[in-house]
Amino acid sequence: MRTRFSEEQIIGFLREAEAGMPVKELCRKHGFSDASYYVWRSK
């Protein structure tokens, strides 16, 4: 199954959140849901 974002992109998103960007703002900026963020973070 093809994903919309590469593994490198997802890691970048997680690092942005760790740097202090609010999750809702991060999701809106890059076009994914906050549920996706929390699934990626759990991995």
End-to-end CA distance of the chain: 17
Tokens of 36: 């996706």
Residue 14 vs residues 1, 4, 10, 31: alpha-carbon distances, Å: 22, 16, 6, 14
Q: What is the pTM of this model?
A: 0.82
Q: What is the pLDDT of residues 1-34, one digit of tens each?
A: 678 999 999 999 999 999 999 999 999 999 999 9
